[in-house]
Structures are given as C-alpha cells and as structure tokens.
Copies of this chain bind each other. A is one copy, B any other.
Amino acid sequence: MMDVLLDKLKFDANGLVPVIVQDVESGQVLVMAFTNREALEKTIATGKVHTYSRSRGRVALKGESSGHFQHVKEVRTDCDLDAVLIKVVQVGGACHEGYRSCFFRRYEAGGGDWKVVEQPVFDPKAVYKK
C-alpha cells in the first residue's frame, strides 16, 4: 500500500512502534502493544485494530479468537512520529484475562502485589475455549 503518512513514522530497528489503544467513548486506555507498517495498513484498510505480536512473530487481528474487535475511530501519532494512538469502539473486553482494559492493576505503596482494581467483563475460559 502506498501511504506517505505511514512512511513518515519512525519505526525502530525491528520495524515496530508502540501503539496505545484507547476507548473513544470513556477515554479508558485499553491496551499497549506494538505495531508495524503491515499491521497499520491492515488496521486502516479494515477499520479493525491489528497489532504485531512479538510472541507470535506475526501481525494479528485484535479479537481474532475472542470476537472482541476494536473498531477504529481515529488514528493519531505523536510529536516524534514514533508512537501511535488509536481510538476505538471496543467490543467486549480488550484483555485476554477478561478485563475491559489490560491496565486493571494499581500500585499501592506497601502492598505485596499490584492490586486488582477492576472487575472482569467476560470469562476467558468460556471465550477462548477451543
């Protein structure tokens, strides 16, 4: 795909930039991931967020297993052109652990662990069953 805007992004040595996905309605930050040129092209072409999964070594459609797609409303970049922010309408939950947002744990000084401060919105065992 020819796209001069994507050409302007400063991908790192691995061809990646960090991407933040945000709920366009609530402003909640849903997930932080990495994307590359191909994933961005597919995101724009389909209107559904695709990211580059470093663990799987490939571009992945967010929600491909769960059906919890992220419908793109806006794509932004930052002053340095090395990070992307995508505002979306989130179906279900963004987190594979069943939460709306992956950022469901909070720092509390003196605690023994990061404290879970959100409620799950789906049951991962039911959604990811094969």
Contact = CB atoms under 8 A, between A and B. Distances in A.
Interface of A: 4-5, 8, 18, 20, 22, 26-29, 31-32, 44, 74-81, 83, 85, 95-97, 99, 102-107, 109, 111-114, 117
A interface, by DSSP: helix, strand, loop or mixed?
Answer: loop
Given A85-B103, A106-B74, A96 B111 contact: no
The oligomer's copy count stands at 2
A99 B83 CA distance: 16
Contacts of A22: 27, 29
A53 to B, nearest CB: 12
A75 to B, nearest CB: 4
Contacts of A114: 5, 8, 76-77, 81
A103 B18 CA distance: 13
Given A29-B22, A85-B103, A103-B85, A97 B79 contact: yes
Nearest to A33: B83
Contacts of A80: 102
Contacts of A28: 27
Contacts of A106: 74-76
